Structure 1
Amino acid sequence: MAYNLPATRLLMNRLRQMMAEDGETRSRLDNVVRLIASTMVADVCSIYLREPSGQLILIATEGLKPEAVGNTRLSSSEGLVGLVSRRAEPMAIQDAPRHPSFSYRPETGEDPFHAFLGVPILRGGRVIGVLTAQNRTERVYGDEEIDTLQTIAMVLAEIVDRIDPEHLDNGHGHQRTRKLATLRGRVFCEGLGYGRAVLHDPVVPAAKFFAGDQEIEAERLTRALIGLKTSIDRMMAIDGAVLGDDPRDVMETYRLLAHDPSWAEKLQEGVRSGLSAEASIDRARREHRARLQSARDPYLRERLHDLEDLDNRLLRILGGDDGRPEISEERSVLVARRLGPAELLEYANAGLRGILMEEAAASSHAAIVARALGIPTLGGIEGLTTRIDQGDWLIVDAEQGVLHVRPDDALYDAYKDRVALRSERQAAYAALRNKPARTRDGTDVSLMLNAGLELDLDTLEQTGADGVGLFRTEFQFLVSETLPRLDDQVQLYRRVLDKAPGKPVIFRTLDLGGDKVLPALNLQREENPALGWRSIRFALDHRGLFRRQLRALIRAAGENPLTVMFPMVTVPQEFFAAKDLLMKEVEWTAETTGKRPSRIEVGVMLETPALAFSLKELAGEAEFLSVGTNDLMQFFYAADRMTPSVSDRYDLVSPSALRFLKMVSEECRTHGIRMSACGEATGSSLSALCFVALGFTNLSMSAGSIGPVKRMIRSLDLAAFRADFIEALDKPNDAFRNQLLALAAEHGVELAEG
């Protein structure tokens, strides 16, 4: 019997009815395999469940021996079923026994069967089982049959994932209880949080898997595809004068994927088979995620990322209001594979108790925004989205870098005790708010705030910060699909200055490129973006864009002081060129408005070791130097901070790094250049202690770090500690960090780490 579209629709309709019926899981699965076998004219239909060990256990069959259910197990490297599981993609074989991966299991009685079709059962991008069909005769399964079996596998995923194989032999097929899980990640924003999981990716409820009216679903999908293409075309239709000659290959490829008729036709086929528009897209997304996990080729991974992003965009369009999950719980924890800063800002007022990200680095813009929001955040959690279900209770321990999934009562009680202790510490830090950061022997240290959003400035008063030591100006560019107008920039910078009356604000000019890709310009993706076309290099090559920002800063300052610093300068000539553009804009503004800043201070960021050996040439030109610890340490150690496997391999608290900073400190004093430091390292009380001991008396950090660092400084006798610190630096032992911790304890220095 030929397999045709009406048979597909019949199968999906009957499956929909079957899924809606009450009954034990085991009996429902038995009915499913019988239905598939009869409709597809297959002699065998079987379902295998992947156990935590990786083995695949037969949990339902029509055509094999019934006694094999619950007893037949295959390793992930065994048989055709194991091959489908490893590849995470369908396999259709005309004569299975002749295939090199074929594994004969006599207890199943499968020796007379030749044709084999197997598809993975996917959930959250991971293979949780395999669905197979077999025939006695040699035959080739068609594309339509493969697509139909994949669709059925998607529908079965929710049921299969919750089956406990230990109960299969008693006929009940109990659902598996999702157990406590503990996952480790990197701390992006310190704190403790407790709440229910809210998945950032659009969720397709099982009730919406099937189409009520196929014509209506097809029309919904068509409209959504048109809306997707239109939105992407609008992103591409940027004024050529603004884009200049910048590469557009990456965005053009993305656009072509959205316009690919084969992708759209694949989605429409799912609707024609009886799926809803959402379920058809979700099926494609599951396949893309599974392939992404096994892809090694960088180009293929980028394309799969793009396809998954298109799937998600399309689901959001179908859901309306960008498809963003509604935060209805009083306590919610946002769970995402990836987040951009603009996406995270959408949740700014949602009352989140925690943020979890699978793919991110502590210095990513999403992490920086999370710190601005003051929400406990963990990132770099491998397999995060495959281990958590919507609504799971979570404890986010962003002090120890641990996530507890579905915690028991004992863990929850321990969490409450930790929260109480943390509240006591925060109260102690708050008591220091109006007290100076002054060492016991009288050295004052300015503690400044790292900021990049207006909401960051709200913490100035509550932390007692002395000003803004780093205002990142690129966020306004990154959260918009178009370049911000001059007036928009002026208004933002003016609001920032107004929120810090009488306090210094240091504006860092655009730091774009690398991991900070500008949507409006779509920078070309590079093999080593951290070492590529970024920061001051990018700004000097886009002088129109750069001068517009400088003009906005000058206009915002009016006749008040203005402090600007240029990022990632590698040679003095870059600093001179940037400063020259700044002064030209000052003169232009003075001629056109009659106003100029009362005082202009120009600084340079030390983020590349090369600049450290050119400080003599900056004497008299740069008023101050700010050590940008994030980039400086990654270049110093040749360890990409955006690559999770090496992102923790650089350590400022090491003899080599501190000796380098000691040299910088001495050079700055020799040439009359004021010193400051900013970045993640300054927020650690131990790293801050090292900076102060090296002569840095201006440190900029996140709001949550000011209290602990101020307490450390007020407990420090700097002169006494410095002498022993320099001696330790000259004669370090193998465990230098422990050596410093012991030294701090000996001098009575109060460190948050200890």
Structure 2
Amino acid sequence: MPYNLPATRLLMNRLRQVMAEDGDTRFRLDQVVRLIASTMVADVCSVYLRLSDGGLLLIATEGLKPEAVSATRLAPNEGLVGLVARRGEAMAIQNAPRHPAFSYRPETGEDPFHAFLGMPILRGGRVLGVLTVQNRTERAYGDDEIDTLQTIAMVLAEIVDRMDPEHISNGVDSKRERNLASLHGRVLCEGLGYGRAVLHDPVVPAAKFFAADQTLEAARLSEALVGLKASIDQMLALDGAALGDDPRDVMETYRLLAHDPSWAEKMREGIRSGLSAEASVDRARREHRARLQSARDPYLRERLNDLEDLDNRLLRILGGEDGRPQISEERSVLVARRLGPAELLEYSNTGLRAILMEEAAVSSHAAIVARALGIPTLGGIEGLTSRIDQGDWVIVDAEQGRLHIRPDDSLYDAYKGRVAIRSERQAGYAALRDLPARTKDGTDVKLYLNAGLDLDLDMLEQAGADGVGLFRTEFQFLVSETLPRLDDQVALYRRVLDRAAGKPVIFRTVDLGGDKVLPALNTAREENPALGWRSVRFALDHKGLFRRQLRALVRAAGTDPLTVMFPMVTTPGEFFEARELLMKEVAWTLSRTGKTPSRLEVGVMLETPALAFSLTELAGEVDFLSVGTNDLMQFFFAADRMTPSVSDRYDLVSPAALRFLKLVSQTCIDHSIRMSACGEATASPISALCFIALGFLNLSMPAASIGPVKRMVRSLDLAAFRKDFLAALDAPDTAFRNQVLALASDHGVQLSDA
């Protein structure tokens, strides 16, 4: 018989009663399958639990032989149940025995059943099991029945996730005791952390699955949708001068998705069937996530990702407190599939011990924020969210790139030993804080701080930095839902200058595009965004936005010195055009305020090999040059640093890279261009040693690296080492890094990573 809304609502009401009753998991599962079978007029309803080896165990049934429970085990991907588990999506089949994936198990007594409807039981993007209904007659299950079974599977996930398959046959209900697991990740912020896992995704407690008052739940959903739309509309309320005439297709599409009546109606249907507002949104989110994981088309994945983001945003709004994440654990490790910088900043005062992210490709912004917060962070951990649960104890080794889930005593003891050694090492670095970075033969090296947030400036004095060698200005744009106003930019830049207390600060102008997408302005999908419309190219094509930032920098400086640097310049013409815009803002500010910076220095970042062969044209025009190692090395080696499979394919400590940098250094010396280097490569003592040997005496790095690099510098006799280093560069061994390490050891240079 056709399924209908009253039947769905009746089933939800009865299911709510079952969930509220006392009893162990096995007892409640038996009640649930009987309830589903009777309400949906199905001859069979069964639940299969996915085991650690991928197999499937029958744990409850109404309609199959009772003795098959806890006895029938399917191999991974065996039968239609295995196919549902593998695909992670619903399957409705009119005549199951004729399907090529059908597997006959005589002990179940399923001979007479033909129609089959299977639904994966999902939680956190992983398949916990499969829920099935079967009928004797050949029939097509309707969309209403499929939707209802999906909702029931969502509720069952809360029960099934707590089951221990090893005790099912004994009727014992206990939480799964899973074994230690160790995973590899990419170090995004170095350090060690230990604590309980806290999942980033909003969690809907089982008690809130059902609607006690459907009218009230519908009103809550409507109110949350209004708040959601208002927040997205605010993103589009951008100043015309900043946007110019550029289209806003991406954000308009995001807005259309939020205003899509079919999305809202599907959630309202969930409430009418007896679900709460949260559970209705969560059902939509699980559906979007399942489709996202199976989608191969990039555009479709982009849209589904937008939809899942909307689901999460709506759940946070329904959760109250402006949807901001809350952490009650004192010792917590944040676990997320992906994380944006604004989301991470919401956790900044919650006492996080570490951060774990599954997807590294979108983590670069969050990684920089994590470094500003000083939180050990690993990214690119494949299968993270399918291997870890809320409350699991974890050890995050963001020195060696390892994650240990549910560690045993021996691992924990080793962790404590590592922490003690690290503390001693940090104490040694702290003792060097007020000492100069001066080589044994009297050469001074300036060690500057990389920064991008107010939080970074807290480390300026603590690390003993000589100033800020790179202040990334784009994060004010990325962490806000709207473009920052002129006054907000002025206030930030002024705070940075004040907190630097007279020490030099180099402001890098907006470096947007590529992996730093500003949705309101980055409208086109690019095949290779790292080589596309980004950085100074992007800024020069958005002169309204760019001039507003330059004006803010000039106004913030007042009569103090101002140093500005343009990123990823490829041709001298780009530098001249950007500098001309800056000088116009200096003149504009002088005419209206009567103030101008007492000293203005304008520099360029060398991040593309092309600019290295144009330095003679910049001689006498540019005040300084800074080698941006992150982008320069990925372009030099044609290896994307954000792609885990190739990110380690290049090494700055190699003959080719160092010979190229030697050419840059000699050109700058010949034309009296002051030079420096910044980026991740400068953070390593051995890489910093190579830069210094090539004549780069101004290095900018994360705060945590200043101590180890200063220790290396103070142990170095530069003249003696340079002679042997350059000789080795002319006649390198096949393992050049080892050759440099051996030279450092021979000269008594202290390298913490040697």
Which bracket does the TM-score occupy, shorter chain normalised? Answer: over 0.9
Moved more, 187-196 or 722-731: 722-731
For the pair 1:92 / 2:85, whether they are aligned, the reply is no
Q: TM-score, normalised by structure 1?
A: 0.97
Aligned pairs for 1:131-210 (under 5 A) are: 131-172=131-172, 174-210=174-210
Moved more, 701-710 or 265-274: 265-274
2:237 and 2:482 in contact (8 A); partners too: no
Counterpart of 1:426 in structure 2 is: 426
1:121 to 1:651, Cα distance in 2 relative to 1, 3 A = same
For the pair 1:306 / 2:292, whether they are aligned, the reply is no
Counterpart of 1:651 in structure 2 is: 651
Aligned pairs for 1:301-450 (under 5 A) are: 301-360=301-360, 364-450=364-450
Counterpart-to-counterpart distance in 1, 2:336 and 2:556: 37
For the pair 1:113 / 2:113, whether they are aligned, the reply is yes
Letter in 1 for 2:705: S
1:522 Cα offset (Å)? 4.6
The alignment of Structure 1 onto Structure 2 pairs a total of residues equal to 754
Counterpart of 2:71 in structure 1 is: 71
RMSD: 1.8
Moved more, 428-437 or 251-260: 251-260
Moved more, 28-37 or 629-638: 28-37
1:95 and 1:138 in contact (8 A); partners too: yes
Counterpart-to-counterpart distance in 2, 1:362 and 1:563: 30
Letter in 1 for 2:207: A
Counterpart of 1:510 in structure 2 is: 510
For the pair 1:268 / 2:268, whether they are aligned, the reply is yes
1:282 to 1:8, Cα distance in 2 relative to 1, 3 A = same
Counterpart-to-counterpart distance in 1, 2:496 and 2:275: 51
Counterpart of 2:15 in structure 1 is: 15
1:424 Cα offset (Å)? 0.7
The runs of 5 or more residues in structure 2 that have no matched partner are none
2:120 and 2:153 in contact (8 A); partners too: yes
Moved more, 50-59 or 519-528: 519-528
Moved more, 605-614 or 593-602: 593-602
Counterpart of 1:211 in structure 2 is: 211
1:363 and 1:641 in contact (8 A); partners too: no
1:664 Cα offset (Å)? 1.0
Counterpart-to-counterpart distance in 1, 2:482 and 2:287: 32
Counterpart-to-counterpart distance in 2, 1:363 and 1:8: 41
1:339 to 1:363, Cα distance in 2 relative to 1, 3 A = closer
Counterpart-to-counterpart distance in 2, 1:424 and 1:522: 46
Counterpart-to-counterpart distance in 1, 2:307 and 2:559: 50
Counterpart-to-counterpart distance in 1, 2:247 and 2:52: 46
Aligned to 1:748, the other structure's residue is in SS state coil
Counterpart of 1:59 in structure 2 is: 59
Counterpart-to-counterpart distance in 2, 1:362 and 1:236: 23
Counterpart of 2:231 in structure 1 is: 231
1:103 to 1:94, Cα distance in 2 relative to 1, 3 A = same
1:112 and 1:136 in contact (8 A); partners too: yes
For the pair 1:587 / 2:593, whether they are aligned, the reply is no
Counterpart-to-counterpart distance in 2, 1:747 and 1:127: 57
For the pair 1:486 / 2:486, whether they are aligned, the reply is yes
Aligned to 1:597, the other structure's residue is in SS state coil
Moved more, 426-435 or 77-86: 77-86
2:248 and 2:520 in contact (8 A); partners too: no
For the pair 1:251 / 2:251, whether they are aligned, the reply is yes
2:473 and 2:507 in contact (8 A); partners too: yes
1:464 Cα offset (Å)? 0.9
1:188 and 1:362 in contact (8 A); partners too: no
Moved more, 643-652 or 131-140: 643-652
Counterpart-to-counterpart distance in 1, 2:69 and 2:659: 66
For the pair 1:556 / 2:556, whether they are aligned, the reply is yes
Counterpart of 2:464 in structure 1 is: 464
Counterpart-to-counterpart distance in 1, 2:486 and 2:493: 11
Counterpart-to-counterpart distance in 2, 1:571 and 1:158: 58
1:730 to 1:162, Cα distance in 2 relative to 1, 3 A = farther
2:81 and 2:130 in contact (8 A); partners too: yes
1:393 Cα offset (Å)? 2.3
2:560 and 2:598 in contact (8 A); partners too: yes
| Percent of aligned pairs sharing the same letter | 83
1:214 and 1:271 in contact (8 A); partners too: yes
1:168 and 1:174 in contact (8 A); partners too: no
Counterpart-to-counterpart distance in 2, 1:24 and 1:502: 67
Aligned pairs for 1:515-664 (under 5 A) are: 515-664=515-664
**Moved runs in structure 1, 4+ residues, more than 6 A?**
none
For the pair 1:28 / 2:15, whether they are aligned, the reply is no
1:720 Cα offset (Å)? 2.0
Aligned to 2:500, the other structure's residue is in SS state coil
Cα-to-partner distance string for 1:219-269 (whole Å, 9 max, x where unaligned):
211221222122222322334443222231211221121122221121112
Aligned to 1:640, the other structure's residue is in SS state coil
1:331 and 1:353 in contact (8 A); partners too: yes
Counterpart-to-counterpart distance in 1, 2:107 and 2:485: 72
Counterpart-to-counterpart distance in 2, 1:528 and 1:720: 44
Counterpart of 1:122 in structure 2 is: 122
Moved more, 337-346 or 440-449: 337-346
Counterpart-to-counterpart distance in 1, 2:436 and 2:361: 33
Counterpart-to-counterpart distance in 1, 2:147 and 2:498: 60
Counterpart-to-counterpart distance in 1, 2:225 and 2:489: 34
1:363 Cα offset (Å)? 7.4
Counterpart-to-counterpart distance in 1, 2:325 and 2:584: 48
1:68 to 1:610, Cα distance in 2 relative to 1, 3 A = same
1:487 Cα offset (Å)? 2.3
Counterpart-to-counterpart distance in 2, 1:588 and 1:219: 52
1:162 and 1:177 in contact (8 A); partners too: no
Aligned to 2:458, the other structure's residue is in SS state helix
1:620 Cα offset (Å)? 0.5
1:378 Cα offset (Å)? 1.4
1:387 Cα offset (Å)? 2.5
Cα-to-partner distance string for 1:682-737 (whole Å, 9 max, x where unaligned):
11111111111111100000111000000011111222222222233233333222
1:393 and 1:407 in contact (8 A); partners too: yes
Counterpart-to-counterpart distance in 2, 1:485 and 1:325: 26
Letter in 2 for 1:725: F
1:24 Cα offset (Å)? 3.0
Letter in 2 for 1:528: N
Counterpart-to-counterpart distance in 2, 1:274 and 1:543: 53
Counterpart-to-counterpart distance in 1, 2:38 and 2:465: 73
Moved more, 40-49 or 55-64: 55-64
2:243 and 2:542 in contact (8 A); partners too: no
Letter in 1 for 2:734: D
Cα-to-partner distance string for 1:456-489 (whole Å, 9 max, x where unaligned):
1121111110111001111222222222222222
Letter in 2 for 1:300: L
The runs of 5 or more residues in structure 1 that have no matched partner are none
1:523 Cα offset (Å)? 4.0
1:506 Cα offset (Å)? 0.8
1:628 Cα offset (Å)? 0.5
Counterpart-to-counterpart distance in 1, 2:593 and 2:433: 40
1:552 Cα offset (Å)? 1.8
